[in-house]
Amino acid sequence: MFFNYYSPTEITEPVLQLLKRFEGRQYELITIPIKTESFSVPSDCYNNVNKKIQLSKGKIRYGWSVYDNDYFIEAEKHAIWESPDGEYIDISCPNSENINQLLFIMDDVDDGIYVPNIRCNYRKQQAIDDYFMIFEILNVLIIHYGRDSKEIKDLVIFPHELNDGVKTLYSLIADYREYIISGIRNCICGSSILYENCHGSKTVQRTLNYIDEIIKKNNLKKN
Ligand SMILES: [Zn+2]
C-alpha cells in the first residue's frame, strides 16, 4: 500500500506548519497547473524543463512541490517551466495520478537534485518521526554517492558493501509505510504493546548503527 498523495488546494493547517520551516527564506506560494509532456521522465524535472526550453523557449523556475497524504505533509525540491508569456506550468509527472494542479513554493534556488524532502509530522505520531529518520539515513548515503552523478535519484549506485544495508532501509520504509497506513497502535513487531513502549525508534537506531559500522569498516566517507 502507498500513501495517497495530493497537493493541497487551500492553505490548510498542515500547509501553515510546513511553511514555518521556510521562515526567513524568500519564496512565493503559487498554485500551478500540471501538463505532463510526452517526453517527461518521472523524478527528472530538471531535464524535463530543460528539454521544454529547447523546444519552446521560456525558462526554468526552482522551488518545492507540496504534497499531503493525511499522515504528513512534505515539500519536495522541484523545477517548473515558465512560458515565454510568463505562465507557470509543471510539465513533470505528479507523485500520484489524478493530481492536476500543484501547490508550489517558488524560491528560485537551484541547489541540485539531491536535496532531502522537508517533512512535517502534523499528527505527532512517533512511528512517523521514525519513518522520517529512516529517510534521513538513506539521504546521507544518496547525497554521498549521488553527488557527482547526473543520474536521477532513483538510480544512485551504491558500493556493493552497502547493498544489504540499503536493502534493509528500503524494506524498513515499506514496513513503516504499511504500519502507518494501517492505523494500528500496537507495535510494528506484532506485539500487543504500544509502539512507543515497545520498538519505538529502536529498529531505526539499530539500522543506523549497522550502516555506520559498514561505512567505518569499508572506510567509506560519510558527509
Ligand atoms: Zn515492538
What's the gap in Å between 194 CA and the centre of ligand 1? 8
Confidence band, pLDDT 50/70/90 cuts, at residue 214 = confident
Question: Do 101 and 158 fall within a single domain?
Answer: no
What's the gap in Å between 200 CA and the centre of ligand 1? 7
What distances in angstroms separate CA 134 from CA 10, 39, 46, 78, 95, one per listed residue?
Answer: 30, 33, 26, 22, 20
pLDDT for 151: 57
| Domain carrying residue 140 | 125-217
Show the cell assigned to 167. 536493502
Q: Does residue 44 fall inside a structural domain?
A: yes
* Tens digits of residue pLDDT in 188-200: 888 898 888 888 7
Show the cell assigned to 185. 497502535
Name the nearest CA neighbour of 64 among 121, 122, 25.
25
pLDDT surpassing 60 at residue 222: no
Q: Which domain-ending residue is among 106, 141, 165?
A: 106
Give the integer Cα–Cα distance in Å for 110 and 91: 18
**Lowest-pLDDT range of 32-36, 37-41, 195-199:** 195-199
What's the gap in Å between 197 CA and the centre of ligand 1? 8
Burial (CB count <10 Å: 0-12, 13-18, 19+), residue 197: exposed
Q: What is the mean pLDDT of residues 197-218?
A: 76
Per the prediction, the chain carries an average pLDDT of 88
Show the cell assigned to 190. 506484532
pLDDT surpassing 70 at residue 147: no
What's the gap in Å between 136 CA and the centre of ligand 1? 22
What's the gap in Å between 207 CA and the centre of ligand 1? 15
Residue of higher predicted confidence among 125 and 155: 125
Q: Does residue 145 fall inside a structural domain?
A: yes
